[in-house]
Amino acid sequence: MAMPDYKNYDDNNIFAMILRGDIPNKTVYEDDHALAFHDINPQAPVHVLVIPKGKYISMADFTANASADEIAGFWRAVGKTTEALGLVEPGYRLLANHGPHSHQEVPHLHVHILAGKFVGPMLMRDWEGKIDMPNMD
């Protein structure tokens, strides 16, 4: 799969289409700043994505260019989403990919909420490269 363009926002990325209502989503939480919806290919019993309503490619773009209101509103929406899902007590993991080493696939910032059971060690324990990495061309 081709890597996203990290310099120019693509108005036709799948999450832009979800924000426009062009394709459906299973919404968990929504406010002026963010939309949270179930991941189409869950990697845990609970796998929800939270996206800002503004056009930000990734965490790097968001933290460099979003306003203080947008940043505060987005992170508060992440918290509201975990509350709506009843995850505060049992716990959850947040994950956000940026850039080729992370293998980000959709070029609109999203934070993954993973939960619903013990979600395992924080990372694949093979950063020295003994496991073949996916082809990133």
Beta carbon nearer to ligand 5GP, 12 or 41: 41
* Cα→Cα distances 115→10, 50, 54, 60, 89, Å: 30, 14, 26, 25, 11
Beta carbon nearer to ligand 5GP, 33 or 112: 112
Beta carbon nearer to ligand 5GP, 11 or 69: 11
Tell me if 58 contacts ligand 5GP by CB under 6 A: no
Phi-psi region of 120 (alpha: psi -120 to 50; beta: other; left: phi over 0): left
Give the closest residue to 58 by CA, choosing from 12, 100, 113.
100
Tell me if 39 contacts ligand 5GP by CB under 6 A: yes
From the CB of 64, what's the least distance to ligand 5GP, in Å? 19
From the CB of 16, what's the least distance to ligand 5GP, in Å? 11
Footprint on this chain of ligand 5GP (rule: CB under 6 A)? 14, 25, 37-41, 97, 103-106
